[in-house]
Amino acid sequence: MAAAWKRLHALAARPGGRDITPLFAADPARAARHTLTLDDLTLDLSKTAIDDAVLAALLDLADAAGLGTFRARLFAGEAVNTSERRAAMHMALRAPDQAGLRAALPGGVDDASALVAAERAKMRDFVAAVHAGRLRGATGQRFDTVLNIGIGGSDLGPRMAVEALTSAAPGPMAARFLSNVDGHATLAALDGLDPARTLVLVASKSFTTQETAVNAAAVRAWLAGALGEAAVGQHFAALSTNLDAVATFGIRREFVFGFRDWVGGRYSLWSPVGLSIALAAGWDAFQAMLDGAWAMDCHFRDTEFAQNLPVRLALAGLWHINILGTANHAVLAYDQRLAHLPAFLQQLEMESNGKSVHLDGSPVAGATCPVIFGEPGTNAQHSFMQLLHQGPATIPVDFILAARPDHDRAEAHRILAANAFAQAEALLHGRSEADLRREMAASGMAEAEIARLAPHRVCPGERPSATILFERLTPYALGRLIALYEHKVAVQGCLWGIDSFDQWGVELGKMLAKGLLPDLSLPRPGGTHDGSTTALIARFRSLRGEE
């Protein structure tokens, strides 16, 4: 692999090796040759400094890193999550029932497809019963709202998907989400809800996640206070495997939906954690989302690397991060329905690949995951796009757009699309000082004023972007898009030689918080903290009048 990395660095060091516009001038067919498709899904990678030589070197790197073997092991259900010695078989959650997928766990192998098929049938029956009114609340009223309580993968994926699928046309039920342990979030989530018509999902595999447990207890008290303690069993369902804790909480066994440890939290929206999606958008929409993800799974599994959308998107990211030294990446969905996609991708990418050791525990020498951020277009153009156009650092961008909207404001959508394409074009070409001077002189501006203003108006250009375009944001298209990014992340983890499927860093802060909590309430705080933390605890208590 060292030779492949060295070759890539040498290619970037060529005169103009970071420039993009000369590649278009030299190759009129560049856009077509660096655009990949899967049905209506289009991935345009031509606005990057990846020429044929760079692409060949990136593909050689993939071969040297054993990407083919990794991909085969991933779909074979082998323990690619090495630190936890288990598979990452979230693909089974969207595969057909008879796919025959298996998944390794410490001490054994699961028939993943059979387990998923059984739980999926149970979910489907539950959703059908709720929508048909066969399952009702304690007062006999039909449920009209589902409240999902979870955090991390138990919130970000379902929240993003529900907003994407129901904001243009409301589904069978309204949906609300409660994740933050901040009491203000609980007040907002419950505001205006009718407890008699609210179905509550508690999404926590262990049923011990602190934030989820606190919020679930608060919502339980709210509901029991309004409807009585006996109502809890009729209004709560659990997405968990801790049957004892769920029973103690008061949730009926038939309202518990589980999933195995080969499903990581950030991949769990395809599992029973996605029950809120099925309830809010309808089972057919949820199933179509699964089908779209499985179509991308099959494409990733079966397609050669040069034409493989997740692989090519991942290789472009490595070129930018490791060779060109970019530290940030923007995701701009020109679709308000995808407003929560950047937050979802923050967890997917940064929790997966925010690692600093290789699989064998040795230190990683270079960078891994960039900082992911984003906002819907055109809002982003009036917030942080200034930095992307004129800031000193190069920040690659993913532009995401549906060709057909689900509204009848055709002119508004054309304006939206024009802005998306124009922003990518502006990042590519920029605006030179010579051009600016000619334009200002043609307008009659004095030479002294031109000299004063021109440097401030220059946009350097040569800034890379990828464009992801598809026909409509259907449930199928959404599933396919999410799976595209999932597999991109896995490919990058393989090439960096890290474990993309564990998240030990998440645990440290949670552990320390549990130990620190008593110091915020004891008459005489104990514990051994650094000077800053000790002082902040004291100041916090003083501001509360507790010192």
Extents of the domains making up the chain: 2-25+35-75+289-429+463-502, 97-281, 505-543
Condensed to tens digits (0 to 9), the pLDDT of residues 417-453 reads 999 999 999 999 999 999 999 999 999 999 999 999 9
The question of whether 488 is a catalytic residue gets the answer no
Catalytic residue among 163, 349, 351, 462: 351
The question of whether 349 is a catalytic residue gets the answer no
Condensed to tens digits (0 to 9), the pLDDT of residues 256-271 reads 999 999 999 999 999 9
Question: What does the block give as tokens for 283?
Answer: 């089972």
Condensed to tens digits (0 to 9), the pLDDT of residues 346-367 reads 999 999 999 999 999 999 999 9
- Residue 508 — very low, low, confident or very high, per pLDDT cuts 50/70/90? confident
The pLDDT mean for the chain works out to 96
Same fold, 2-25+35-75+289-429+463-502 and 97-281: yes
Catalytic residue among 510, 514, 546, 547: 510
Q: Is the pLDDT of residue 35 over 80?
A: yes
Q: How many C-beta atoms surround the C-beta of residue 88 within 10 A?
A: 27
Q: Is the pLDDT of residue 160 over 70?
A: yes
Are the CB atoms for 333 and 402 separated by under 8 Å? no
Does 97-281 carry CATH code 3.40.50.10490?
yes
Query: Which residues are CB-contacts of 544 (< 8 A; sequence separation ≥ 6)?
Result: none
Please count the residues of the chain: 547
Q: Is the pLDDT of residue 292 over 70?
A: yes
Q: What is the mean pLDDT of residues 480-500?
A: 98
- Residue 525 — very low, low, confident or very high, per pLDDT cuts 50/70/90? low
Query: Which residues are CB-contacts of 466 (< 8 A; sequence separation ≥ 6)?
Result: 43, 44, 45, 47, 48, 313, 316, 396, 397, 398, 399
The question of whether 351 is a catalytic residue gets the answer yes
Q: Is the pLDDT of residue 462 over 80?
A: yes
Look-up: residue for tokens 């472009």?
Answer: 316
Classify domain 505-543 by CATH number. 1.10.1390
Catalytic residue among 382, 425, 433, 547: 382
Look-up: residue for tokens 């530290």?
Answer: 327
DSSP letter at 377 equals T
Does 2-25+35-75+289-429+463-502 carry CATH code 3.40.50.10490?
yes
Q: What is the mean pLDDT of residues 368-385?
A: 97
